[in-house]
Copies of this chain bind each other. A is one copy, B any other.
Amino acid sequence: MTLDLQPFFSPGSIAIIGASSNFQAISGKPFRFLLEHGYKGDIYPINPKYDEIKGYRCYKSILDVPGPVDAALIAVNFKLVLPMLQQCVKKGVKFATIFASGFAESGAEGKALQVKIGELAKESGLGICGPNCQGMVNLKEGIVGGFSASFEIRPLLKGPIGYVTQSGALGYSIFNLAQESGVGFSFIVSTGNEVDLHSLDFLEYMIEDPETDMVVAYLEGIKNGKQFARLANRALELGKPIAALKVGRSEIGQKAAASHTGSLTGSDAVFDAFFRQKGIIRADDIEDLIDVAALRQSISHMPQGKGLGIITTSGGAGILVADAAVDLDLDIPELDEKTRETIMEVIPPYGSALNPVDVTAQVINVADDFMKVLQAMLDNPDIHALVIVITMISGASGHKMAQDIVKMAGVSDKPMVVAWTAGERLMGENLKVLSDGGVQYFNSPVRAVKAMGSLMRFSAHRTEVLRRTESPRSPGIPEGAMGTASAILAETGKSLTEHQGKLFLQSYGIPTTREDVATSQEEAVRIGESIGFPLALKIDSPDILHKTEAGGLKLGISSREELVSAYDQVLSNCRSYAPDARIDGVLVQEMVSGGTEVIVGLNNDPLLGPTVMFGLGGIFVEILKDVSLRVAPVDYEDAMSMIREIKGYKVLAGARGRTPMDVEAIADVLVKVSCMAMDLEDQISELDINPLLVLPRGRGVCVADALVIKTDRG
């Protein structure tokens, strides 16, 4: 992003091109909303049909406007959009927002028109939002630049949440629901077809806004993985959570996404890995998105870790919250004796002073007993946030309870959330105490813990990332690796042969089997004897992919004689299998024993960029799909967590009497592959190290076979 979006979100003047005097029409609404929500800058309606609209002078063309125009809202039919944009350029308008549909989403003609608009944006420097979008809102300054029915509500709630949506209709309906839940926003933008400005540009801007504490997004796809990584890192640094509802998880969902928008939907597993890597909160529903935003808005301090304290008036509710907390990978710390004793003093014997703490319905009838429990839990250093579940406590007891919670929330730097599992008609007054006191509540215990848990996980992840200022273990990549590797790529075909692939990996310091290509019996013997028996022979041919089938593979060769005869046999087998194949020789290769097979892979995700994969070999990958993914760059700690995260990790760690394998050496390979991927992103499309043989701890790893595929430059 090179443009400063300040004039987009805070324009000093706005022209509405195609403004209508019918304030109920789509082309009339933006004008009305600007007026009604209190826009303070200059407004210029543009429409040759009118001289004035509602007392404002209406211009025939934007070129007739006397003063400068920061932003234009383009409310004309799609066929008229391009000439209007050209006038905007001439006028020196900084940003234009196009509402009309009829572009890339509508077939070939619309697509062509959209391409032209994109070119105009690039050439002129005019920043364009849309087309096919529903506009922008800046509630900090009362600027409502769109036509959504959600803007009919008065007043719209201002608050600390920034919001970007790739769907106009669904996006602004989420906004409406959020507003009815009390969530206030700083900026909102609907990005439509993203011909120029896209979601990440807006997210990046919002993250930096000092009055914005959190950003939420509805996403179908993204355009720039590096930018996403950069802004997510920045959000971690600033301690501002990003929560995203990214649809298209399922295959069927992905199909619909591709037919719905112009942008590609990336493989969802990569997105998921990326979100976890960057601490981005992934919402599964619009409700999750609204809940976590509502909670973030209500708390003054983010939780500082994953230790959850649970207080409830009903044992069952405590179990329900504990179940959900465990699913969310939160910690439910055991309480120390002091905390337990303090609690036991005030609760009845059939309550529980374990975490979850069950105060029962009785404790709240006694003056400050409930407050004492709150205080004891908040004082406990292992507890970073509280979920308080209250069941059917109505009347004065419930009122006092709500007041106690509000009081403690006001003085504690640990956040809390309430689940009051009873309805408005009975609990209305108590719930009002909470909302007036700025304490977020839900009816559902699970929603309460889910929202709090999302923030806790973000914070825990943030702490972890900030702790790692430098990678604790240098990858040990040879100097000039990138040059050496590029030179190899320059001399090879689209797919590297096994031997070329290994030379390529060696350039980044990745250990491979000792081997060389022989073009004669004598050479094979010389190479073989310098490596030492046992050996493997493999045909070296760019045209023979299935070596076993071709008879081009001999394993376990244990003597000079065997080697000589195997050499001849491999060649003659392959010549008769594929008479036209180019044969470069026979690969004479060390046979490594005692290793466990793992797989290291690299793929270029079309949206998120180079992605490193790790898995255990054999059935683990083939049948169980037991792999872990990270978007590059991957540092040593990332790599270790990739290894630990697969289900079969215990096989490597030495479970049940197995030898512990050299997982640190695997981590080194993953880091090196990641560095290689970053260096050569434009040159390599895929890499499969399969298998990487892992030896017992301290003895390293060894690439036994590798496939490198270069990027297609067609």
A residues neighboring B (CB under 8 Å): 101, 105-107, 148-150, 152-153, 166-167, 169-174, 176-177, 179-180, 218, 220, 245, 247-257, 259-261, 284-287, 313-320, 322-327, 332, 349-350, 352, 354, 356, 358, 361, 391-392, 394-395, 421-426, 443-447, 619, 622-624, 647-648, 650-651, 655-656
Contact = CB atoms under 8 A, between A and B. Distances in A.
Nearest to A150: B392
A149 B261 CA distance: 51
Contacts of A650: 623
8 contacts: A153-B426, A169-B316, A179-B423, A261-B315, A286-B421, A286-B444, A286-B446, A623-B648
A287 B324 CA distance: 13
Contacts of A245: 320
A323 B391 contact: no
CB-CB nearest 4 A-B residue pairs: A260-B315, A180-B423, A250-B326, A167-B316
B323 A249 contact: yes
A167 B623 contact: no
A323 B247 contact: yes
A252 B392 contact: no
Contacts of A249: 323, 326-327
A395 to B, nearest CB: 8
Output the residue of A174, A245, A285 with the most chain B CB within 10 A.
A285
A247 B422 contact: no
Nearest to A331: B252
B392 A176 contact: yes
Nearest to A421: B173
A620 to B, nearest CB: 9
User: This chain: how many copies in the complex?
Assistant: 2
Given A176-B392, A252-B325, 4 more contacts: A150-B426, A249-B323, A259-B352, A286-B445
Given A148-B392, A256-B318, A256-B352, A287 B422 contact: no
B421 A252 contact: no
Nearest to A287: B444
Nearest to A101: B350
Given A247-B319, A255-B354, A624-B647, A426 B176 contact: yes
Given A315-B260, A394-B149, A445-B285, A247 B320 contact: yes
Contacts of A322: 250, 252-253, 256
A656 B622 contact: yes
Contacts of A447: 285, 287
A424 B173 CA distance: 12
A432 to B, nearest CB: 16
Nearest to A357: B256
A10 to B, nearest CB: 26
Contact of A349 (B106, B177, B332): B106
Contact of A651 (B325, B356, B623, B655): B623
A319 B256 contact: yes
A314 B421 contact: no
Given A149-B426, A153-B425, A443 B332 contact: no
Contacts of A648: 619, 623-624
Contact of A426 (B152, B284, B394, B624): B152
A285 B647 contact: no
Given A174-B421, A256-B352, A169 B392 contact: yes
Contacts of A425: 153, 180
A170 B106 CA distance: 52
Contacts of A423: 176-177, 179-180
Contacts of A314: 167, 169-170, 173
A252 B422 CA distance: 25
A248 B655 CA distance: 29
A465 to B, nearest CB: 27
Nearest to A103: B350
A286 B422 CA distance: 11
Nearest to A247: B319
Most buried by B among A180, A247, A324, A352: A247
Contacts of A656: 622-623
A167 B443 contact: no
A24 to B, nearest CB: 9
Contact of A173 (B106, B220, B326, B422): B422
Contacts of A255: 354
B173 A392 contact: yes
A274 to B, nearest CB: 17
Contacts of A352: 256, 259-260
Contact of A248 (B167, B220, B319, B647): B319
A304 to B, nearest CB: 21
A248 B350 CA distance: 18
Contact of A647 (B167, B392, B623): B623
Contacts of A179: 423
A655 B177 contact: no
Contacts of A325: 250, 252
Nearest to A251: B326
Nearest to A320: B247
A239 to B, nearest CB: 29
Nearest to A248: B319
A270 to B, nearest CB: 16
A296 to B, nearest CB: 19
B332 A170 contact: no
A85 to B, nearest CB: 21
A349 B107 contact: yes
A170 B174 CA distance: 30
Contacts of A395: 149
A293 to B, nearest CB: 15
* Candidate in A251, A314, A354 with the most chain B CB atoms within 10 angstroms: A314
A387 to B, nearest CB: 13
A322 B251 CA distance: 9
A235 B259 CA distance: 43
Given A107-B349, A361-B169, A250 B153 contact: no
Contact of A319 (B260, B421, B446): B260
Given A326-B251, A361-B169, A106 B350 contact: yes
Most B C-beta atoms less than 10 A away, residue of A106, A172, A320:
A320
